[in-house]
Amino acid sequence: MIGTHYRRNLRTAVGSSASPYSYTLTIWTTGAVVTNTHGIPTALYAAAFMAGAVLAFACVGLPAFSHLTQHLTREA
């Protein structure tokens, strides 16, 4: 009984974290390869990367939620 409940919850946790974990591995690996090829980025390049990432997230979030101040909640 406890093993079945634990296994079901573990399956849910692993399944829901697979996509973000894969994304993180892809980004870190790509960053390592680019850093090895081009060297350490300057602070300006790092800030530009961060600003681009925030802008890209806002460009996806705006059509999804109609405005940027709406709380992120699960659908019923």
For the chain, give percent helix, strand, coil, nearest 5.
80, 0, 20
Condensed to tens digits (0 to 9), the pLDDT of residues 18-52 reads: 888 999 999 999 999 999 999 999 999 999 999 99
Q: What angle do CA 23, 68, 54 make, to 5 degrees?
A: 40
Cα separation, 5 vs 70, in Å, equals: 35
pTM, to two decimals: 0.53
CA distance 67 to 45: 29
